[in-house]
Amino acid sequence: MTSSKVRYLIFFQYFGTKYSGVMKTPTDQNILGVQNYLEEAVRKLRPANEVSVSVSSRTDSGVHALCNSAHVDIQRKSGKPPFTERLLVDALNYHLKPEPISILKAYRVADDFHARYRALSRTYFYRIITGARHYSQLPVFERSLCWAVHENHLNVTALQEAAKLLLGTHDFSTFRSLNSETPFKSPIKTLLQAEVCSGAGSFSQHPFHRHMQYWDLTFRSRSFLYKQVRRMTGALVAVGQGRLSPSEVKDLLEARNSLAYPQNMMAPPDGLFLQKVEYEETDLFPEAMETD
């Protein structure tokens, strides 16, 4: 006898440097994806069903997540009751040790809920640091967590002006990298947020690092194209450095051609974080909403 299958939405975070990205890779590869480890942790719970974790938001190798999400179905054996949300979080975190992956929260959701397609928006932010002439000058705890652009100062006013040009609904073809999915995905996206603000570094107040300045570039949309955030960040930083003007960013946007994007301008993965994935509250608490 087996229990009924239950679908859970899980929120999780990870340090992306050691993984091939969040998506699953063949197990014979030297570097695996975060999804490989999530599915293995679920298998260690010994469910009766085949394990498949459906991740909501793709991140590439070297990109981090403060909060990504996924759904998974779990059917327990021998008539055991479904896992409570708290127990599931604790059990998965136990089996994920010592990987730099952590389950933050779990919700029991409707059987037809889909983590990717039900998401209302995704928010990414990119951490930039100025004032470090070389990678070796970065605090060791910040390496792989930010992009050191070698200038002492950026023209933040021009950078903010260029960021505003990206807001709204556009054809973002110039700001996507080409891959096998390109022919099947519309380049039309609506950018809801594009902001530049002074950021915080964990060790910025240390006397050896006080000359360094952190900046956060934040982007929010329902979905993004492949490497869109890194390409937008690279172009905006080029504006801050004086290598591009805001009007040239507008020209790139209007070109609607991936090949129009300047070579070697895309931001590296290190400073990019998926900050959050948002859902309707009724998706997270379906039973409570039915009783109201």
Tokens found for residue 139: 């605090």
Tokens found for residue 74: 């779990």
SS3 68: strand
The residue whose two tokens read 């509250």 is 281
Task: Please tell me the distance from the alpha carbon of residue 134 to that of residue 123, in angstroms, as a whole number.
Answer: 29
Task: Please tell me the distance from the alpha carbon of residue 76 to that of residue 89, in angstroms, as a whole number.
Answer: 16
Judge contact between 250 and 170, C-beta under 8 A: no
SS3 218: strand
Partner residues linked to 166 by β-bridges: none
Phi first, then psi, for residue 68 (nearest 5°) are: -105, 180
Catalytic option among 28, 60, 73, 270: 60
Q: Where are the alpha helices (DSSP H) in the chain?
A: 34-43, 85-96, 156-165, 228-241, 246-255, 281-284, 286-291
Instruction: Clarify whether 60 is annotated catalytic.
Output: yes
Residues marked active site are found at 60
